[in-house]
Chain A
Amino acid sequence: MKKTPPIELVIRYRWWFIIVPVCLSIALILPLKKASINPDLNAYLPSDVPEKINQDKLEEIFGNSEPIVLFFHSDDILHQTTLERIRNLSKAFGRMNEFERVISLFDTKEIRGDQGFMNVDPAVKRIPTSDIRREKLREQLRNNELAYRLVVSEDFQYTLIILFPRKDVSDKTMIGLIHEQLQEFPGDEEVYLNGTPYLRYEIQRKAIRDLTILLPIGLTIMILFLYFSFHEKRGVILPLSVVLMSILLSMGLIPLIGWEFSLIAVLVPILMIAIANNYGVHIVSRYQELNAKHPEWSMRQIVIDCLHHLTRPIVLTALTTIVGVLGMAVQIMLPPKQTGIVSATGIFFALFLSLTFIPALLVGMKKGKIQNSFIGSDPTIVDRILQWMGSISTRKPVTVIVVFLSVLILSGAGIAKLRVSISNEKILPQKHPLRISNDLADRYFGGTNTLTLLFEGDIKSPVILQTMDRFERELMQMPEVGNVTSLAKIIRIMSRALNDPDDPFYDTIPDTREAIAQYIELYSMSGDPDDFEQLVNFDYTKSSLTIQFVANDMKTFNRAIAKIDSLKASSPYCTLEGGYSLMEKVISESVVRGQIYSLIFAILAIGLLLFIIFRSISAGLMGSLPLLFSLICNFGLMGWTGLELDIASSLISSIAIGIGVDYTIHLFWRLKKELEQNNTMDDAIKNTLKTTGRGITINAISVILGFAVLFISALTILKTFAFLIIFSLLLCLLCALMLIPALSKVLQPRFLTKSNNKNKLN
């Protein structure tokens, strides 16, 4: 038996190889303690993105634009008890220091002209106690442009309380206060929360829940799977310890680098459970096999043989997985980058531990019982399926290829329908209060997308306000646009309240600067100075026009933006465009571009690796086929089923490539080895499927089980991720077991058939 120095080294200094990684992993718990989760996707945009700079600029001028919105639903919100509850709540919130401003039916103004009077009143001044008064109020609200469809829905079943929190108040404090007050003033109305702070809070809460629940469940499933596979304690302990240490290292790395956990960092431990045990499993499996075949061998002999035979294939498959996963690191957004970098490091650590820590421990153990599975048993269902696959791909290879091709074309056609997610709230489940209230906002309150235009110049001059007014009228003609709010709107409302309908000043922006200045002066006397703060700056040199619109897909969104852009270009006073919707758009575009980068990177890198391993271009091309097939089908499936490309599903291609290519490599090796032993192609294929085929099937099942844990995640995008990654891996497996054999049979590639001793793989 040939002894190689590295294995001897591991055996000689075995305690070092055990203690050092254990201590290192334990030490990494420390940074983890201080780690924090940043659930805000917008925060991950690079700070030099123009949309982000613009948003910051707008916030600097007009204050916080991250309100929390409370939706109240009842049969008739003008009912006395409902209005009393709204009044009590808005009053209570208004008295709190945590909120800068509160908007409800009781704070929104009504500006009304009435026989020479101008009334400036709260939209609801007094709660009606009789039906007649209630209907009168309803009519009044219908005519109040500052309330109708803004704080009360057309059907009077929904009303809002909008809270503008102070910047220094944490999301958690704020949500806590809101829940407290809702309990303090209970009622029958259904209440739904909405707004970016609530979205962040919910994602954070669910991500923490996921981390605390998914990890133990994932580990339990892994333990059970390992135990049922090996029926031996060491078969569980050895891979498990590698997985645990890799999780600690990869997760600990995030705070150590100075990053915050993104919401998809939840995937990292799951990824480790799915991938990091593979290498240990191979070693334990080989140990059990040798233990059964050579009962006379010592533990040392067994370990040395294990490493001698397994080091190269393990290193190569780990390398391809690392390269695939690193595809995420070339993405633009930090969350996928982060996931890519730390999971690649974690996998590398797992590889290192599997080749040092496991043998170091194993060599000190007594030999275990001989496992029956290696003595020979009845064929299982997996064996039978593999047998069938072997025979069909050798007997009817062309049919197999045609079937795969048809599936490819059919599902690939779905790519045309593939949509990109443009709203962050889809991270949460459909039945979540935030998703419900989002639909309500789209249906009754003008939409959830907001975009703000900045006007600069002498805001009191008629030309600017008239431009704003023209923008508003043109925008309101678009079906997507629900509301437009600006200083021009207030001036117009005042012009109706102050002038009689036959007056030239009625319902128009005045032609003189003086008239506008006097309107503004009048408004500032009757309202709160804060009322104006979000519309115009202190010295009347900057003013905002905010557009609310409904857009659930990129196409509608782009159409709305195109119109707004053309309006913006038409006026020299309109200098800037900002808003959360634009940032969400940038995120979507970054996801798409990142996806393309990582696909190109991974496919090229894997093709290159296969070329290097097998010294053949056709190996690189053939080996990439299963990856291309499963990715095209994956994107096609997403298109057909309407699952959108988002920050989590953009990781699928990289991970599927990283894991899926291993199956092909294993298959090529065995096939080549079988052919070297002068078997016919048919026999080689059948033998390969019986042996290696079985191994990769079991391995795939364990990986799929690992990912399946994500089905119980509280975050929808992670559930979708689980579904798609499992689908992709199954396709990779199917390709390796059927398409590759069928192609090999038809093409008879030289890299498999030529005998080359230098290129012997193991």
Chain B
Amino acid sequence: MNSMKTKVILTLILIELTVCFSFAQSAREIAEKAADVISFESMEMISVLKIYDDKNNERIRQIATATKKFDSSTKTLIKFLSPADVKGTSILIYDFENESDAMWIYMPALRKTRRIVSSEKGNNFMGSEFSNADMSKPNMNDFSYKILGTETVNGKICWKIEAKCLNEDIEDENGFGRKVITIEKNTYLTQRIEYYDFDDELLKIMSISDYKKQTNGGYFAFRMEMQNTQSGRRSILLIDKLQLGTELSENSFAAATLGK
């Protein structure tokens, strides 16, 4: 009986401590931790991208992705597995930290690799509702962070963190004015991100689920859904297979070998 009491008191103290500790963290620190917990140096995966229009018509693409961090940049290789007419189309992206990205495409029907130069960053990822920015780690310095409060999502206690674009250029680049990120307190796993447009109206909601713990201790989300509340379109990204690390050498991430 006594020990029971002690346990309860200890738990209470622990909760108090956690809460105090939590609030001691700044909004930015929480957001940073949430980004770190799903960050990987390198990996290979096979995923399915389902794109729906406002009438629920479906377009499905199966893609293989390999990512590896090198000295100056993170290099990503994307290869279409289906549908048949684009099978073999490969894209190579160099994500430099301090300069604009470089991108090459290999089109099997033309048997040619071409470098693509595009200055637009807020672009949608492969014609889906996900933006290219959603697919990579955000630059923490582009936003100001604020804790809006806590919320329970699917029985999980979460922080609500607001990340606001610092200026209009950043807004234009990202395609939104601010986002509200819901992060689970215990695990720092992001559950949901709401994007608000320049008039501060809800634009898109990203729901992230099916987190699986990886061998390195980090987590990886196997399902992401982006719902555009204004256009009615939505897209779902499902991870079929995931492997941490890649055996691909830096040579494989070169324009000259793309498509081979």
Interface of A toward B, CB cutoff 8 Å: 91, 95-97, 116-122, 125, 460, 498-499, 505, 510, 512-519, 521-522, 524-529, 538-539
Contact = CB atoms under 8 A, between A and B. Distances in A.
Interface stretch (B22-30, B102-110, B140-148, B157-165): B102-110
A95 B199 contact: yes
B114 A518 contact: no
Nearest to B106: A518
A570 B233 CA distance: 36
B116 A517 contact: no
A338 B157 CA distance: 65
Contacts of A118: 114-117
Interface string B165-199: 00000001000000000000000000000000111
B12 interface: no
Contacts of A514: 84-86, 108-109
B155 interface: no
B119 A121 contact: yes
B201 interface: yes
Contacts of A120: 116-118, 120
B59 interface: yes
A97 B199 contact: yes
B123 interface: yes
B126 A524 contact: yes
B85 A517 contact: yes
B76 interface: no
A246 B53 CA distance: 55
A522 B109 contact: no
A116 B55 CA distance: 39
Complex A-B, nearest 4 residue pairs according to Cβ-Cβ distance, in ascending order: A517-B85, A515-B109, A524-B127, A95-B198
29 contacts: A91-B172, A118-B116, A119-B117, A121-B117, A498-B107, A498-B112, A498-B114, A499-B112, A510-B109, A510-B110, A512-B109, A514-B85, A514-B109, A515-B110, A518-B89, A518-B107, A521-B80, A521-B89, A521-B127, A522-B89, A522-B105, A522-B116, A524-B126, A525-B127, A526-B120, A527-B123, A538-B53, A539-B57, A539-B59
Interface in B117-154: 117-120, 123-124, 126-127
B182 to A, nearest CB: 24
Interface of B: 53, 55, 57, 59, 80, 83-86, 89, 91, 105, 107-110, 112, 114-120, 123-124, 126-127, 172, 197-199, 201, 230, 233
Nearest to B53: A538
Contacts of B118: 119-121, 526
A428 to B, nearest CB: 33
Contacts of A524: 126-127
A518 B109 contact: yes
B222 to A, nearest CB: 24
A91 B197 CA distance: 14
Nearest to A98: B199
Contacts of B172: 91
B59 A460 contact: no
Contacts of A515: 107, 109-110
Contacts of A119: 116-118
Contact of B119 (A122, A505, A516, A521): A122
A593 B91 CA distance: 61
B116 A538 contact: no
A522 B53 CA distance: 19
A518 B57 CA distance: 20
Contacts of B119: 121-122, 125
A234 to B, nearest CB: 63
Nearest to A113: B114
B108 A518 contact: yes
B115 A116 contact: yes
Given A116-B114, A522-B105, 14 more contacts: A96-B199, A117-B117, A499-B112, A510-B110, A514-B84, A514-B86, A515-B109, A515-B110, A518-B107, A518-B109, A521-B89, A522-B116, A525-B116, A527-B123
A528 B233 CA distance: 14
Nearest to A96: B199
B64 to A, nearest CB: 15
Contacts of B112: 498-499
Contact of A97 (B53, B124, B197): B197
Contacts of B107: 498, 515, 518-519, 522
Contacts of B59: 538-539
A533 to B, nearest CB: 9
A538 B57 contact: yes
A119 B57 CA distance: 31
Contacts of B110: 498-499, 505, 510, 515, 518
B127 to A, nearest CB: 4
Given A119-B117, A120-B117, A526 B123 contact: yes
A116 B258 CA distance: 14
A460 B127 CA distance: 17
A91 B173 CA distance: 12
Contacts of B233: 529
B57 to A, nearest CB: 5
Contact of B123 (A95, A498, A517, A528): A528
A205 to B, nearest CB: 27
B99 to A, nearest CB: 16
A112 to B, nearest CB: 9
B117 A528 contact: no
Contacts of A499: 110, 112
A599 to B, nearest CB: 48
B126 A518 contact: no
A463 to B, nearest CB: 15
Max count, chain B CB within 10 A of own CB: residue among A95, A96, A513: A95
A529 B198 CA distance: 19
A501 to B, nearest CB: 14
A516 B55 CA distance: 25
B244 to A, nearest CB: 27
A517 B55 CA distance: 22
Contacts of B198: 95
A128 B110 CA distance: 36
Contacts of A539: 57, 59
Nearest to B129: A529
Contacts of B117: 117-121
Given A95-B199, A525-B91, A117 B127 contact: no
B121 to A, nearest CB: 12
Contacts of A95: 197-199
B153 to A, nearest CB: 27
B108 to A, nearest CB: 7
Contacts of A526: 116, 118, 120, 123
B136 to A, nearest CB: 15
A496 B123 CA distance: 23
Contacts of B84: 514
A118 B117 CA distance: 6
Contacts of B127: 521, 524-525, 529
Contacts of B91: 525
A513 B116 contact: no
A446 B4 CA distance: 85
A117 B119 CA distance: 14
Contacts of A518: 85-86, 89, 107-110
Nearest to A119: B117
A516 B108 CA distance: 11
B74 to A, nearest CB: 18
B49 to A, nearest CB: 12
Nearest to A95: B198
Nearest to A495: B110
A562 to B, nearest CB: 36
A512 B110 CA distance: 10
A681 B84 CA distance: 97
A255 to B, nearest CB: 35
A119 B105 CA distance: 12
Max count, chain B CB within 10 A of own CB: residue among A96, A521, A539: A521
A519 B105 CA distance: 11
Contacts of A519: 107
A518 B114 CA distance: 12
